């Protein structure tokens, strides 16, 4: 496994609705790769940069900002992330393990009214790197909301509404392509990771 992955970089993205457990699985895969001696970096969107901080503050507001403004901020945040973090890591032959990417834009801002296809097209027009694999952790919306409501000290963000999240989930499932592996997120954490790990260990590095 290590010899295969060290021949070149990989760009791995985790997606899912709020409460799906994708961040936990992202952490597990990053730690697994690192434990194998594979050079890896763990990233997330929104980032911790200036644009990402604006987005995080926006998501905690009671009134949802216009979808076009959301998309604008996400594109600016992603552009900075690609230039400063993602591309440098890939050029250094690292495995980039990413918590959310532009598919989340297509799903969330798509559910807010912007055609998802347009969002995907705008991201690709900016030449952002395409992931080698997208692990979509799929769970029913009612399960997701139960998990979210159980988070200690967590306020309810604007996206964590049942009808809205159902639209988000439907969009994710509609545009999943050959890059996607849909994973049953209702399994235990260990079972979900076992599914991801098996697939990850078979992935070939991208051509440079």
| Domain positions in the chain | 2-200
At residue 1, the pLDDT reads 44
Cβ(76)–Cβ(47) under 8 Å?
Answer: no
Block means of pLDDT (10 residues each) for the chain, 208 residues, are 58 95 96 93 95 88 82 95 97 96 95 94 95 96 85 57 91 90 96 96 74
pTM summary value: 0.89
| Calpha distance 28→151 (Å, rounded) | 19
How much is the pLDDT for 204? 74
* Per-residue pLDDT, 158: 55
pLDDT at 65: 82
Tokens, residue 160: 């964590």
Alpha-carbon separation of residue 143 from 21, 146, 148, 150, 157 (angstroms): 11, 5, 9, 11, 16
Q: Which residues pair with 172 in a beta bridge?
A: none
Closest CA to 140 of 177, 187, 95, 97: 187
Q: How far is CA 30 from CA 44, 100, 130, 163, 200, in A?
A: 12, 14, 19, 32, 11
Q: What integer pLDDT is reported at residue 159 of this predicted model?
A: 63
Crossing angle between the packed helical segments 116-125 and 102-111, to the nearest 10 degrees = 150
Residue 158 · residue 108 · CB < 8 Å: no
CATH code, 2-200: 3.40.50.300
Identify the pLDDT of residue 64: 74
């Amino acid at each position: 496994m290590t010899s295969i992955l060290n021949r070149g970089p990989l760009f791995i993205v985790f997606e899912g609705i709020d409460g799906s457990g994708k961040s936990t699985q992202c952490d597990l895969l990053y730690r697994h790769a690192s434990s194998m001696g594979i050079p890896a970096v763990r990233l997330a969107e929104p980032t911790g940069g200036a644009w990402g901080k604006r987005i995080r503050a926006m998501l905690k507001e009671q009134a949802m900002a216009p979808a076009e403004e959301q998309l604008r901020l996400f594109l600016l945040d992603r552009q900075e992330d690609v230039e400063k973090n993602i591309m440098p890591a890939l050029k250094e032959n690292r495995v980039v393990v990413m918590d959310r990417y532009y598919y989340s834009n297509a799903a969330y801002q798509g559910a807010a009214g912007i055609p998802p296809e347009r969002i995907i097209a705008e991201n690709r027009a900016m030449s952002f790197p395409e992931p080698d694999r997208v692990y979509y952790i799929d769970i029913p919306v009612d399960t997701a909301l139960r998990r979210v409501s159980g988070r200690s000290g967590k306020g309810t963000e604007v996206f964590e509404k049942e009808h809205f999240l159902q639209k988000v989930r439907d969009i994710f499932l509609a545009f999943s392509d050959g890059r996607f592996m849909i994973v049953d997120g209702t399994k235990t954490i260990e079972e979900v990771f076992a599914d991801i790990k098996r697939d990850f260990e078979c992935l070939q590095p991208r051509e440079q």
